[in-house]
């Protein structure tokens, strides 16, 4: 596929071929320790290399958490750059979990870091925050379109603190979260088989039938595994939009390392359970 083919198209193909699973790469200190690794650059490199070698050829999507690499400075970012390159070379898609959000030239610079095809951190998609106003994301939207990339916009997150903003009701009677979803539906109008501009919607939120999740784009759904949600919960949370869900599992898979076989078996099991739940919906 051409690198400029829209992210939504590439994502649909990847999930159909490899299974609807996103594995988060979150090398936080406690997980490094659980793997018997030191919380230093050598531990970070070993952890990341093991995940990439074990799963890059079979999992559809990976979501590196940028903060856990940035905390080691430039050497940590170099590890992240190499992981992004190797994951994409193996045919996987990379969603950079950086949750960037700003205005004007600063937002444009963030976009160039992760969404410009010539950047060493070029990713297939980027998580972004719309809470300086959805319009502040325009530089990222424009550059994503230009480079065949996508965005996942924070809309209905699973952290308890998110509700005070996302469930707040505007003067027009819609919640802030619903407003974000409406913007995304507009971005994806007419796209097929799937738009490139998605929402982050927590899999732990329960019944979301009061929200219109039919944005014709992907719904990145953290919370499967260690946070308590299960693949069987997905149809009840996402309803008719469940086929467009990209369920993200981090600790549920990573806690099975550093054994390569354990990582592969866990990822395959989650992918199979998610596919079965979606097909049964």
CATH of the domain at 62: 3.20.20.70
Structural contact between residues 147 and 4, judged by C-beta atoms closer than 8 angstroms: yes
Q: How far apart are CA 8 and CA 196, in angstroms?
A: 4
The reply to whether 2 falls in a domain is no
Return the DSSP state at 69: H
The reply to whether 183 falls in a domain is yes
164 exposure class (CB count in 10 Å sphere: 0-12, 13-18, 19+)? exposed
Q: How far apart are CA 213 and CA 275, in angstroms?
A: 19
250: Cα within 13 Å, side-chain hemisphere: 16
Q: How far apart are CA 194 and CA 234, in angstroms?
A: 19
Rounded to the nearest 10 degrees, the angle between the axes of helix 260-280 and helix 41-55 is 50
Q: What is the residue-level pLDDT of the chain in tens, covering all 281 positions?
A: 445 799 999 999 999 999 999 999 999 999 999 999 999 999 999 999 999 999 999 999 999 999 999 999 999 999 999 999 999 999 999 999 999 999 999 999 999 999 999 999 999 999 999 999 999 999 999 999 999 999 999 999 999 999 999 999 999 999 999 999 999 999 999 999 999 999 999 999 999 999 999 999 999 999 897 778 899 999 999 999 999 999 999 999 999 999 999 999 999 999 999 999 999 98
The reply to whether 1 falls in a domain is no
Structure token pair of residue 10: 């590439």
Q: How far apart are CA 34 and CA 48, in angstroms?
A: 14
Q: How far apart are CA 108 and CA 79, in angstroms?
A: 24
Q: How far apart are CA 179 and CA 42, in angstroms?
A: 44
The reply to whether 258 falls in a domain is yes
- Chain centroid to Cα 20, Å, comes to 12
Q: Give just the sign of the alpha carbon dihedral 11, 15, 20, 26.
A: negative
Active-site amino acid positions: 99
Query: Cα 30–164–156 angle (5° rounding)?
Result: 65
pLDDT of amino acid 191: 97
* Domain count for the chain: 1
The reply to whether 273 falls in a domain is yes
The reply to whether 168 falls in a domain is yes
Structural contact between residues 199 and 221, judged by C-beta atoms closer than 8 angstroms: no
Structural contact between residues 274 and 247, judged by C-beta atoms closer than 8 angstroms: yes
The reply to whether 209 falls in a domain is yes
Structure token pair of residue 124: 């297939």
Tell me which residue range forms the domain holding 116.
7-280
The reply to whether 173 falls in a domain is yes
Q: How far apart are CA 140 and CA 135, in angstroms?
A: 10
Residues in the chain: 281
Structure token pair of residue 45: 């490199």
pLDDT of amino acid 227: 79
Q: Which residues contact 167 (CB under 8 A, 6 or more apart)?
A: 175, 176, 177
pTM over 0.95: yes
């Amino acid at each position: 596929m051409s690198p400029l083919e829209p992210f939504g198209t590439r994502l649909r193909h990847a999930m159909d071929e490899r299974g609807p699973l996103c594995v988060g790469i979150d090398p936080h200190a406690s997980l490094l320790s659980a793997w018997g690794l030191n919380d230093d650059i050598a531990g970070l490199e070993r952890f990341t290399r093991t995940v990439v070698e074990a799963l890059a050829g079979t999992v559809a999507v990976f979501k590196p958490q940028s903060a856990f690499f940035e905390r080691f400075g430039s050497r940590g970012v170099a590890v992240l750059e190499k992981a992004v390159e190797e994951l994409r070379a193996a045919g996987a898609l990379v969603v950079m979990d950086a949750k960037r959000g700003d205005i004007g030239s600063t937002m444009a610079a963030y976009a160039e870091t992760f969404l410009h095809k010539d950047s060493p951190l070029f990713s297939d998609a980027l998580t972004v925050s719309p809470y300086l106003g959805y319009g502040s994301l325009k530089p990222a939207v424009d550059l994503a379109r230009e480079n065949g990339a996508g965005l996942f916009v924070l809309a209905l997150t699973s952290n308890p603190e998110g509700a005070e903003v996302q469930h707040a009701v505007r003067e027009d009677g819609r919640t802030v979260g619903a407003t974000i979803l409406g913007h995304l539906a507009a971005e994806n109008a007419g796209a097929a088989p799937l738009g490139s501009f998605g929402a982050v919607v927590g899999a732990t939120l329960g019944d979301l039938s009061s929200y219109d999740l039919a944005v014709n784009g992907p719904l990145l759904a953290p919370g499967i595994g260690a946070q308590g949600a299960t693949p069987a919960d997905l149809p009840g949370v996402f309803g008719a939009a469940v086929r467009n869900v990209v369920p993200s599992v981090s600790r549920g898979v990573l806690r099975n390392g550093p054994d390569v076989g354990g990582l592969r078996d866990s990822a395959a099991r989650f992918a199979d359970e998610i596919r079965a739940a979606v097909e049964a919906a």
